[in-house]
Chains A and B, each alone.
Chain A
Amino acid sequence: MDLNEKLGILADAAKYDVSCSSSGGTRKNKNGVGDSHACGICHTWADDGRCVSLLKILLSNECIYDCVYCINRSSNDVPRASFTAEEVIELTMNFYRRNYIEGLFLSSAVLKNPSHTMELMLEIVKKLRNEHGFFGYIHIKAIPGADERLINEAGMYVDRMSVNIELPSDKGLEVLAPQKPKRALLKPMHQISNKIIENKENKRLFKKGDSFVPAGQSTQLIVGATPDKDLSILKLSEALYGNFNLKRVYYSAFVPTVTDPRLPALIKPPLLREHRLYQADWLLRFYGFEADELLSKSNPNFNPELDPKADWAMRNLHMFPIEVNSAEYELLLRVPGIGVKSAQRIITARRVGRLTFDNLKKIGVVLKRAGHFLTCQGKTYDSYSSNEAIVKESLISANLQPKSKKSVLGQMSLFSLVNDSGTDENISEFLLTDSPSNNRQWLSYYNQPQDGRLLLSDIHL
């Protein structure tokens, strides 16, 4: 089978995995090729609108297991293929050198047995780093059940390692992935988490040595394949962030790729649900919310009409309005229509003068939303109302407004998470912090006469 054909099969098989951002890497180039950009760079956007930053492929889709929801399950009739180590390396290096990708995201079905698969992956990452001087980003999926030593060694070469839990409950796993009990999945996560902590401690004490999984570990949960409620999914995420120091939990609306009586008959992937979970996850990580504040036993699923933050604010109207010129940062963050960036800007701008609604607008606060929750120097906004029904109505209509990129659902990129989190963020501003700095000597071309153009042949490359 030629490389092109293999690539097609093994890209197809990997595309449902969403944990593909390259953020958090800080690997520096030491006379080779590549480095990792801390905030991640998207290199292209696929026709489904998802961003592509890594070459995301499976090493193999020849699986010995038979997880019900999975397109690669052994009983499914699909074309099968496996890359050789050399092929993965050739693709990675050549794609990277042309600036198509930020690095490699290598996952695999279980080929022969877990340790054998893990060994092949280890060989690839080791060669990329040692023989090809590759300093780009590498994310691999640890294969549950593989020899601990293999996972530990691989961790020394990669930026991120993940173990996908896929199904948010034991019950779900039992029915849909009988060969993968949750315990077996949590074990490598636990191992990776311990190793990260141990490695950090060693580095602190001895100030040397390579980093173990420096960009941390992540996992993915499938939404909508099992009857689990949003509350239990979010609680699981909260626990993973807390106990295993996970960097990210990704949510993936279940896309039926196989039919089976044990699976729900979904017509459309539950994209809105996925979107709400991302918004809520964002609130957990950056806004100081807890899962129990956002959902409860009596209210276990997100509101389809309102984003989780607006929904929370509606249930806590008694706390508002707050005064923009004196409210604490943490409280500002809880106002619908104020994102991390605009809360920071409010704090900054407050130092030099008192703010008016007009200033807030210029700072980037979405007054259509925030107007019901704020006062500016004691005054309320034009459309302010304390009537619950009116506030709700206007929050919903502010959400529906198809303004800019924010309203489009179903994007799982780093960018959209910034955008879709029910905040007023603008993509660019969030990422600006890491744009390359200007360098004065670089401006020198302006001092050259325009007619004395250089020819390529004058320059000795």
Chain B
Amino acid sequence: MIYIYDGTWDCFLTAVHHYYYDKQDVSNIESSLCYIPNLIDEYRFITSDIIKAKSVEEAILHKISAESLENLQKCFFSEIEGREMWILKYIRLGFKIGSRIDSMLGDKTVLDVLIPARKVGMECHRMLGLLRFELLDGGIYYAKIQPDHNIISFISPHFKNRFADQNWIIHDTTRKIASLYNTKKMLLSYMDLSNIPELHADELRFQALWKNYYKHIAIKNRINPKLQKNFMPKRYWKNLTEKKSD
């Protein structure tokens, strides 16, 4: 039996819920966005049920631990292929042995979840630094991001604290989702942002100042592009003011 869910965390948890109540064995959980149907497999389509999802989350929290829940979420949002079954296996083991699972750092079932979770954590941390806002007309700071993993929900609260007194938008253009903040409330949604305002008249001046600063701080006889790329992979450069070509 293969479960097909709609790609969301809630719907995935609903699938986990069904797994515990169905008598059948589940061979895979696949997002409807990626699966290709065939005649041999048996499918069950899962519709998102917030109450069921919540109850699975509560169960993970109480029967396993908050640490595990966080790692499972991070693993899920890594969007790495195969993560659904890794998470299911982890939950099964966790429900048996409880929070002891958080200590089993050499175990394959645990590592299957932990490694993607660490990748997500790493990209989150990186993006806190590598995200660039541009000031738009009307006083909105706009940032475009294209992360490898779906991290917008993890990083946005940081910017809410930090830029509490400014209007901002963080836009994941790969996934077409954005978070917005208007100095009071924050919102995360699928969003059409094709009509964003023009750059503010001051913006290019500060971009030029920043580029100039960036150029000057490098020590000429220590130039080391390999080291630079190790820390700041090239795929992030297209959205970096100081690295973007004009």
Q: How far is the CA of A457 from the CA of B195 in the complex (A)?
A: 9
Q: In whole angstroms, what is the CA distance A269 to B106 when docked? A: 42
Cα of A283 to Cα of B112 in the assembled complex, Å? 32
Asked if A258 lies at the interface with its beta carbon under 8 angstroms from chain B, I say no
Count chain B CB atoms within 10 A of each CB in A3, A415, A426, A445 and give the residue with the most.
Answer: A445
Task: Assess whether B52 is interfacial by the CB under 8 Å rule.
Answer: no
Across the interface, A359 reaches (CB within 8 A) one of B106, B176, B210, namely B106
Find out whether the CB atom of B48 lies under 8 angstroms from the CB atom of A44. Answer: no
Give the complex CA separation of A79 and B111 in angstroms: 57
Asked whether A48 lies within 8 Å of B218 as measured between CB atoms, the reply is: yes
Shortest CB-to-CB span from B211 to chain A, Å, is 10
By a CB distance below 8 angstroms, the chain B residues around A413 are 231
Segment 189-236 of B: residues with Cβ below 8 Å from A: 189-193, 195-196, 202, 206, 208-210, 212-228, 230-232
Inside 8 A of A269's CB, which chain B residues have their CB? Answer: 221-222
Question: Which of chain B's residues have a CB closer than 8 A to the CB of A53?
Answer: 129
The answer to whether A32 touches B143 (Cβ under 8 A) is: no
Question: In residues 91-137 of chain B, which contact A (Cβ within 8 Å)?
Answer: 100, 102-106, 111, 118-119, 121-122, 124-125, 128-135
A457 and B194 CA atoms in complex are apart in Å by 11
A193-201, A222-230, A348-356: which lies at the interface: A348-356
CB A141 to nearest CB in B, in angstroms, measures 17
Q: Which of A405-461 contact B (CB under 8 A)?
A: 405, 408, 410-411, 413, 415, 426-429, 431-432, 434-440, 442-448, 450, 452-457, 459-461
Contacts A362-B105, A362-B111 known; A3 to B164 CB distance under 8 Å?
no
Interface centre among A16, A352, A444, by most B CB within 10 Å? A352
Whether, in the assembled complex, A56 has its beta carbon less than 8 Å from a beta carbon of chain B, the answer is yes
Check A436 against B158 for contact (C-beta < 8 Å). yes
Of A7, A34, A442, A444, the residue contacting B156 (CB under 8 A) is A442
Q: Which of B22-30, B36-44, B78-86, B180-188 is near enough to bind chain A?
A: B180-188
B193 lies within 8 A of A435 (CB): no
Docked pose: A318 CA to B111 CA in angstroms: 35
Nearest chain A CB to B69 CB, angstrom units: 9
* Docked complex Cα distance between A413 and B202 (Å): 32
Interface size on B, residues (CB 8 A): 91
> Is there contact, CB below 8 Å, between A7 and B213?
yes
Interface status of B59 (Cβ within 8 A of chain A): no
Question: Which residues does chain B contribute within 8 Å of A91, judged by CB atoms?
Answer: 209
Most-contacted residue by chain B among A8, A46, A97, A415 (CB, 10 A): A46
A15 → chain B, closest Cβ, in Å? 5
Residues from chain A with Cβ under 8 Å of B55 in the complex: none
A32 CA to B6 CA, complexed, in Å? 40
Cβ–Cβ < 8 Å partners of A34 in chain B: 162-163
B245 beta carbon closer than 8 Å to chain A? no
Question: Could you tell me if A435 and B125 are in contact, using CB atoms closer than 8 angstroms?
Answer: yes
Contact between B187 and A459, CB atoms less than 8 A apart: yes
- Taking the nearest CB of chain B, how far is it from the CB of A251, in angstroms? 14
A9 to chain B, nearest CB (A): 8
- Which of A91, A435, A445 is the most central at the interface, judged by chain B CB atoms within 10 Å of its CB? A435
Within 8 A of A (CB), among B131-186: 131-135, 138, 140-141, 143, 153-159, 161-167, 169, 176-177, 180, 182
Chain A, interface residues (CB within 8 Å), range: 35 or more
Question: Distance in Å from the Cβ of A336 to the closest Cβ of chain B?
Answer: 20
Please tell me if the beta carbons of B222 and A255 are within 8 angstroms of each other in the complex: yes
Across the two chains, which residue of chain B brings its CB closest to A11?
A: B216
Complex: how many Å from CA A383 to CA B216? Answer: 48
Instruction: Chain B residues near A11: list those with CB within 8 A.
Output: 213, 216-217
Contact of A428 among B100, B122, B135, B221 (CB under 8 A): B122
- Closest A residue, CB atoms, query B230: A405
Stretch in A35-43, A291-299, A390-398 touching the partner: A35-43
Q: Whole-angstrom distance between the alpha carbons of A361 and B226 in the complex?
A: 27
Residues in chain B near residue A445, CB distance under 8 A: 153, 177, 188-190
Residues of A contacting B130 in the complex (Cβ-Cβ under 8 angstroms): 43-44
The answer to the question of A149 belonging to the interface, with a C-beta cut-off of 8 Å to chain B, is no
Extra contacts, 5 of them, besides A3-B209, A428-B118 (Cβ < 8 A), are A29-B162, A47-B224, A49-B227, A53-B129, A436-B154
Residues on B facing A (Cβ under 8 Å): 8-11, 48, 50, 57, 70, 73-74, 100, 102-106, 111, 118-119, 121-122, 124-125, 128-135, 138, 140-141, 143, 153-159, 161-167, 169, 176-177, 180, 182, 187-193, 195-196, 202, 206, 208-210, 212-228, 230-232, 240-242
Q: Which A residues contact B (CB, under 8 angstroms)? A: 3-4, 7-8, 11-12, 14-16, 29, 31-35, 37, 41-53, 55-56, 91, 94-95, 97-100, 102, 133, 255, 268-269, 271, 345, 348-349, 351-353, 355-356, 358-360, 362-363, 404-405, 408, 410-411, 413, 415, 426-429, 431-432, 434-440, 442-448, 450, 452-457, 459-461
Could you write out 6 A-B pairs with CB less than 8 Å apart?
A14-B217, A15-B217, A31-B165, A47-B223, A353-B104, A405-B231
Please name the 4 residue pairs, one residue from A and one from B, whose CB atoms are nearest each other, closest first.
A428-B122, A49-B227, A359-B106, A446-B8
